[in-house]
Amino acid sequence: MKIIRSLFFTLSLTAACSSGFVIPDPVQRDKQEKPAEEGGDDNGDDQGNTPGGIHDDGVPAELKEGMLYADGNDEKTYELILSRGYNMEPPDQSGAHAEAPFRHIRQSVDPVLKRPVFDFYIHIQNDDDRGLANVTDRQRNEIKTDGKSPAALVAQEGETLRMSWKFCLPKGMKTTTNFCHIHQLKGIDNSEGTADVSMPLITFTCRSLSSGKQQLQVIHVGRTEDNTGNEYLAKADLSDFLGQWVSVSETATFAKDGSYHLVVFRMSDGKQLLKVDKEHVDLWRSGTTGLRPKWGIYRSFGQNRSLAGQLQDEILHFADFYIEKVK
């Protein structure tokens, strides 16, 4: 009964997540080795609840493999991420941060969930893409699983991952007609660097349309050699997401004849915002050593920052990551 009351309370929340961009004091930390990237880069249950017993504050009584929950120890956020088998790609040393490093993934107590969540910061005038001098059109701040993660958090051909998480996009979030990914399913390159991993397989992309409206698009990207382009699996008005916590349940079978299933609902009123049930979809890439998820913000600001004036600093909020290999 306590679990049911807790879940009902979570689903009945009506307040929005915070949206003001307040930059904390810079965090001094040793410059860490830049994570290797897998080639060039462009781009629970059905209700999204985490299995197992849940305390009244929404935190599992016992963390299972694949769970990454904010614990409120902000200064140890990176240590927490790594300890759970995840990795990250924050722009902590980019631009002016080289002199005063800034930790781009933090924790705060969310006023809606009333417990710690992860805050992903991005600065439009300063942050870059992993310090790569030859990349001048995009920036990122992401967490992911990768080749160093436990095998249970990375899919091999024919395997299925069930993933769930929650996120809240800030009110007034700005986008352009170029990509702004907040979630990707993507391949890991092989040691020879020859795998087809330059493009993701699935993205959650926030984008402005020519009409001026904003959308959240779920996109399937075909193999490079097939040159099939993008397939839009689902679309929704971005206004349905801004300032609101949503819960995601995603299941992908990673195979050439794979499948993809997705349910996204808004937690304040239980409204279903996105749903995909796609069979016979190509979810494998030649040469890859595994497929895995990424979360955060990875956005284009145009060649040589030509679109930077249309964007702004943002804080995106994420919580309750869970990955489970089901076969």
DSSP secondary structure letter of residue 76: G
Residue 157 has pLDDT above 70, yes or no: yes
pTM of the predicted protein model: 0.86
Residues in the chain: 327
Q: Which fold has domain 2-17+44-325?
A: Jelly Rolls (2.60.120)
Question: Which residue, chain included where needed, has tokens 């930077």?
Answer: 308
Q: How many whole angstroms separate alpha carbon 101 and alpha carbon 99? A: 6
State pLDDT tens for residues 235-293: 999 999 999 999 999 999 999 999 999 999 999 999 999 999 999 999 999 999 999 99
| The residue type at 83 | S
8 Å CB contact between 179 and 158: no
CA distances from 184 to 114, 219, 250, 261, 291 (A): 27, 9, 12, 14, 10
Question: Which residue, chain included where needed, has tokens 């958090």?
Answer: 153
User: What is the average per-residue pLDDT within 54-67?
Assistant: 75
Q: How many whole angstroms separate alpha carbon 246 and alpha carbon 271? A: 9
Domain boundaries, the chain: 2-17+44-325
State pLDDT tens for residues 26-54: 444 343 333 333 333 443 333 334 433 44
The whole-number pLDDT of residue 64 equals 93
Identify the burial level of 190 via C-beta atoms within 10 angstroms of its C-beta, where 0-12 means exposed, 13-18 middle and 19 or more buried.
middle
Q: Which of 165, 89, 125 is nearest to 324 (CA)?
A: 165
The whole-number pLDDT of residue 227 equals 81
Helix (H) or strand (E) holding 8: helix 2-11
CA distances from 148 to 88, 152, 290 (A): 12, 11, 11
The whole-number pLDDT of residue 25 equals 55
CA distances from 83 to 24, 44, 156, 292, 322 (A): 24, 21, 22, 17, 14
Model confidence band, residue 224 (pLDDT cutoffs 50, 70, 90)? confident
